[in-house]
Amino acid sequence: MNSPTTSGIVAGRLNEQQLADNFSDLHAPLDPHEASVAADRCYFCHDAPCVTACPTDIDIPLFIRQIATGQPEGAAKTILSQNILGGMCARVCPTETLCEQACVREEAEGKPVIIGQLQRFATDTLMAQGIHPFAREGNTGKRVAVVGAGPSGLACAHRLAMRGHDVVIYEASTKAGGLNEFGIAAYKSTDDFAAKEVDWLLKIGGITIETGKALGQGLNLSDLTSEFDAVFLSIGLGGVNDLAASGADKIGVTDAVDFISLLRQTDDLKTLPIGRNVVVIGGGMTAVDAAVQSKLLGAENVTIAYRRGRDRMAASEFEQDLATSKGVRILYNLQPVAFHGNGSVVEVEFEYTADTPTGLQGTGETMRIPADQVFKAIGQTLETSEQLKIERGKIAVTGAGRTSVGGVWAGGDCALGGEDLTVTAVAEGRDAAEDIHQTLMGKA
């Protein structure tokens, strides 16, 4: 039996019970009483700031009032009509920087209405009954291809199906869901929720999914545009940024996204190896997800090293606090310069940095942190060879996701604009679907 202090990258540092506890729901679902008490705190604001803050414009005061008056299913329909992945967004949205930050009770008392958890209460209630509250409009005879079955692609496909179009989703991996399935910390999406949500979404009908297919992997854009009436690209960011540090090829240095994905697809976490001394390089949500889960798997020491100061960190304050509460150490103003070790990494050498008027500069002073496993989480990049206009590393779009190629729309992380959040991806997919619909029906 291994323990957190066993050297190297090994499996089974914690027993089954510890792992089950560690990877249970981050926020236990509200029971009806808790939901009722929480819902009563909503002031039903006019032109509510929480709605403005929501990328999908969910009518939050309305759905909370529906919960308060005993209509959780109606509340769910209010949510899902704006955001078909409202169930997942209730789990993964950084509400502390979106709706809950804008809540007037945050201003009044420093304690917002727990909008995210209420949203989960409503959507879970509806989904537990197996109800899909939307029906398709009359068949238009139009066919649309969606490339990528992540949040944006699923949202786009659902809205198109609802408007009466037939949709084929092409997905590179073996499973639909995108980052919901592969890229989110396990404790935010327990009990195989991402897959269940996809199954529930598909109940609308009119959508088929073909897995193992992607642009450059059996598909190309010109074939798609000739075969379909419209194409929506939601291909995400398939590549990862490289580190400038030397020795990045040493054994034990990998991409955080691969680790997170592997963890999500591992049925028995006792079999998943993790280092004793884990170092995560980066400052976003991916860095936090990788670090926290390393700790939860039983790593003894987990350090996040970020090259800038705390105020610049992309992970929200809530996420940073979550990490430190789980025992993760966060170090700021450190950039990696070298990975040391004979074959396998044993320590990472960092240089201190300072924000100067001419940009981030190394101070020349260095330090070393022991590491048998290093996760790189310094951002992802778009991978495409298609003839699309690219701007700042992403597919350039105008309006509701129109690309430079006629008949081709794009949304989600691969497209320019908006934050790289699930909720933003859903909004972009939904809006592109409406634009495609208007275009195909000759109304735009």
CB of 42 to another protein, least distance (A): 9
The helix/strand/coil state of 138 is coil
Task: Kindly indicate which of the ranges 47-55, 138-146, 279-287, 363-371 contains the residues binding another protein, using the contact rule CB under 8 A.
Answer: 47-55
Angle at Cα 2 formed by Cα 336 and Cα 347, nearest 5°? 15
Of 105 and 143, nearer to another protein (C-beta) is 105
Q: Considering the complex, what minimum distance in angstroms separates the CB of residue 65 from another protein?
A: 12
Please report whether residue 443 would count as binding another protein according to CB under 8 A: no
- If binding is defined by CB under 8 A, does position 173 make contact with another protein? no
Sign of CA dihedral 32, 38, 43, 44: negative
How is 190-214 classified by DSSP, letter by letter? -TTHHHHHHHHHHTTSSEEEEES-E
Rule CB under 8 A: say whether 57 interacts with another protein: no
Tell me the window of 17-25, 104-112, 329-337, 426-434 that interacts with another protein (CB under 8 A). Answer: 104-112
Shortest distance (Å) from residue 385 CB to another protein: 46
Q: x/- contact string, 229-268, with another protein (CB under 8 A)?
A: ----------------------------------------
- Angstrom distance (rounded) from CA 219 to CA 74: 41
Of the candidate residues 15, 21, 32, 44, the single one contacting another protein (CB under 8 A): 44
Taking CB under 8 A as the criterion, which residues in 21-40 touch another protein?
Answer: 36-37, 40
Token pair 């692609």 in the structure block, residue: 153
Residue choice 18, 25, 101, 105 for contact with another protein (CB under 8 A): 105
212-249 burial: b if 16+ Cβ within 10 Å, else e: eebbeeebebeebbeebbbbbbbbbbbebeebebebbe
Residue 49 touches another protein, criterion: CB under 8 A:
yes
Asked if 45 is part of the footprint of another protein (rule: CB under 8 A), the reply reads yes
Three-state SS for 335-355 is EEEEEECCCECCEEEEEEEEE
Q: Terminus-to-terminus CA distance in the chain, angstroms? A: 65
The conformation of residue 96, written as its DSSP 8-state character, comes to G
Alpha carbon distance 351, 340 (integer Å): 14
Neighbours of 21 (CB within 10 A): 10
Shortest reach from residue 49's CB to another protein, in Å: 7
CB of 108 to another protein, least distance (A): 4
State yes or no: residue 46 binds another protein (CB under 8 A): yes
Which CB, 47 or 365, lies closer to another protein?
Answer: 47
Phi, psi of 214 (to 5 degrees): -155, 170
- Residue 87 phi/psi, 5° resolution? -65, -45
- Adjacent-strand bridge partners of 329: 303
To another protein, the closest distance from the beta carbon of 43 in angstroms equals 5
Among 30, 48, 54, 230, binds another protein (CB under 8 A): 48
Nearer to another protein, 108 or 262 (CB): 108
* Residue 65 within binding range of another protein, rule CB under 8 A: no
Nearer to another protein, 65 or 270 (CB): 65
Determine if 329 is a binding residue for another protein (CB under 8 A). no
Q: Is 107 in the site for another protein (CB under 8 A)?
A: yes
Segment near another protein (CB under 8 A); pick from 103-111, 122-130, 297-305, 344-352: 103-111
- With contact defined as beta carbons under 8 Å apart, do 364 and 338 qualify? no
Q: Which is nearer to another protein, 47 or 267 (CB)?
A: 47
Question: Can residue 62 be called a binding residue for another protein (CB under 8 A)?
Answer: no
- Closest contact distance (angstroms) between CB of 94 and another protein is 22
| Nearest alpha carbon to residue 295 among 280, 310, 317, 306 | 280
Residue matched to tokens 């495409």:
384
**Site for another protein contains 404 (CB under 8 A):** no
Nearest-angstrom CA–CA distance, 76 and 118: 10
Q: Which residues bind another protein (CB under 8 A)?
A: 36-37, 40-41, 43-49, 104-105, 107-108
